[in-house]
Amino acid sequence: MIEVSSTKNNFVKELKKLSKKKYRQEQGHYLIEGLHLIEEALKSKANVTTIIMTHQGQELLTELPLTSDKRAYYLLSDDVFKSVSDVPAPQGIMALVKLEQVNSLKNLSGRLLLLDNVQDPGNVGTMIRTADAAGYAGVVLGEGCADIYNPKVLRSMQGSHFHVTIVEANLAAIIFELKEKGMGIYGTELNPEAVDYRLLKCAADFALIMGNEGQGVSSQLLQLTDKNVYIPIIGQAESLNVAVAAGILMFSLQS
């Protein structure tokens, strides 16, 4: 157990850098915070290399299945922990997890969610969590999406990246591959001339594309789909939040 009580400590400086994608890739690790996420990581056999705690957080250790252990343990003073933490009321426990080689979609069967330039980390994380809940097999992040190891994405994902396959890829290329496999491809639009989602007859397996918060799915991708659907707005709101729209569609579209 290594004790740290200064924010100038090198280990602490390295931890702070992990809020940036560039450093996560350099260091090959990302940071997860809170008991629930660490439990999910251990259950899913993710490579949890380091546990970081406060004195109070140390009491949570007994709740974790940490047997025969080659992990490093750091005990941080409350102040130092807070300086690294991403939440207003930290539980006092974090862990470093090794970045895994991104999985491929090959040999994956089931429904997929494709995200086109979804920039808000909370939206990306929430949609991955919802895809998990809806029993989707994977999520493909196209260009412009928030990084899944971004602290805010991790927080809203609630460990779902340990359950569903997540791939970063060019969406146009992926769509061609999926079509060759016989999957249905459905885009989403704000345009009432698209198909009302309640009337869509879905293929047995399909991919659903959700788009950017402001612009929606790019017109280039909308031309590659089998059908484009929309959710009719009844009241005066101009649109739905993209993560809410994704939830309505994923729980409603059935083959």
Q: What is the binding site for a second copy (CB under 8 A)? A: 122, 126, 129-136, 156, 158-160, 163-164, 231, 233-241, 243-248, 251-252
Comparison of 31 and 243: residue with beta carbon closer to a second copy: 243
Which lies closer to a second copy via its Cβ, residue 82 or residue 122?
Answer: 122
Tokens found for residue 63: 């709740």
User: Closest separation between CB of residue 240 and a second copy, Å?
Assistant: 5
Name the residue nearer to a second copy (CB basis): 141 or 157: 157
CB of 40 to a second copy, least distance (A): 9
Closest CA to 166 of 197, 134, 132: 132
Taking the complex as a whole, how short is the minimal distance between the CB of residue 29 and a second copy, in angstroms? 24
> What one-character DSSP code corresponds to residue 212?
B
Which of 134, 148 has the CB closer to a second copy? 134
State the Cα–Cα distance between residues 226 and 245, nearest whole angstrom.
19
- The Cα 216–Cα 190 span in angstroms is 8
Closer CB to a second copy, 7 or 19, in the complex = 19
Strand residues in 44-118 grouped as ranges (E): 48-53, 72-76, 93-98, 112-115
Cα-to-chain-centroid distance, residue 107? 21
Least distance between a second copy and beta carbon 25 (Å):
23
| CB distance 105 to 175 below 8 Å | no
Q: How near is the Cβ of 141 to a second copy at its closest, in Å? A: 18
How is residue 139 written in tokens? 């999520």
